[in-house]
Chains A and B, each alone.
Chain A
Amino acid sequence: MKKHRYDYLWIFSLVYLILGFFNILFAWIGLLCFFIPLFLSIVTGTKLYCNRYCGRGRLFSLIGGKLGLSRKKDIPPFVRKPWFRYGFLIFFLTMFFLMLWNTWLVFSDARSLKEVVTVLWTFKVPWHWAYRGSIFPDWAVQFAFGFYSIMLTSTVLGLITMIFFKPRSWCVYCPMGTMTQLICRLKSKGGMKRRTDFDRNRI
């Protein structure tokens, strides 16, 4: 099969994770993985990001598929059920808003900057080596620590399910995927009248 440029997007994901070990401020770049999928699904009404450009998905299929670090077994059926997917999305968004709240607390001087990365919402890992002061305000740095925690947590979770189940198991319950699919569902319902019989939307 012909290789495309976007087949190498796993490099972006990997570099992002590595950069977070050196300077936490790079975590801000991760917002791209948040806004681009939403933008693409709102504009095109498809899951173009998941289907083509998701670097993390590519990384998992590389490690789990090509490098063989996956058992390639079926995922437990409850993971693909809507209650679990939407439940996980709500949980994830709650944690996201909690992170924004922490950023707000630092912004309003109610709390000082905490140089820790919280993995799997529980384990507080000291991460002071990735920040040696900058021209940026403390809240921006706190956001970077918080956002990197989210990105690292989801990668760790994705890697665990990659090992136990199929390489891209994360895609089944990825909150961004659930969110973009929800947008597509709402969009397709709105445009039901002008829907043709079968729209071959080749990707």
Chain B
Amino acid sequence: MKQVKKRKRQAKVYKEECAACGCCVLVCPHDAITVYKGLYAAVDESFCMGCGKCVKECPASVITLSEVTA
């Protein structure tokens, strides 16, 4: 039987242009994002469900959803 690879979406931050404002942290329903030392938003892959709330909220639009194979 052929195994079907599960596809999952996750938030990805373009760190170089992240303002570290923390808007994403406030909307994340799973507490999956933290602002790392005031430098950039860091997504914890084990918590992110790919809901996309942070993508909508990010004022700099530096967060995207990308597909990852689980």
Contact residues, A35-66 vs B (CB, 8 A):
41, 45-48, 50-52, 57, 61
Query: Nearest Cβ distance between residue A43 and chain B, in whole angstroms?
Result: 12
Q: In the complex the two chains form, what is the Cα distance from A50 to B60 in whole Å?
A: 14
Given known contacts A75-B59, A171-B59, A201-B34, A80 and B17 CB-to-CB distance under 8 angstroms: yes
Q: Which residues of A contact B65 (CB under 8 A)?
A: none
Give the residues in chain A near B56, CB-CB below 8 Å.
72
Nearest CB on B from A42, distance (A): 11
Give the dominant DSSP class at B's interface. loop
Describe A's contact surface by its main secondary structure.
helix
Asked whether B22 lies within 8 Å of A172 as measured between CB atoms, the reply is: no
Residues of chain B within 8 A of A200, CB atoms compared: 34, 44
In this complex, the interface size class of chain A, counting residues with CB under 8 Å from chain B, is 35 or more
Is A118 located at the chain interface by the 8 A CB criterion? no
Q: Is the CB of B6 closer than 8 A to any CB of chain A? A: no
Residues of B11-68 whose CB lies within 8 A of A: 17, 19-23, 25-26, 29, 31, 34-39, 42, 44, 56-62
* Residue ranges of B at the interface with A (Cβ–Cβ < 8 Å): 17, 19-23, 25-26, 29, 31, 34-39, 42, 44, 56-62
Closest CB pairs A-B (n = 7): A184-B38, A51-B22, A171-B21, A47-B38, A80-B60, A74-B61, A46-B38
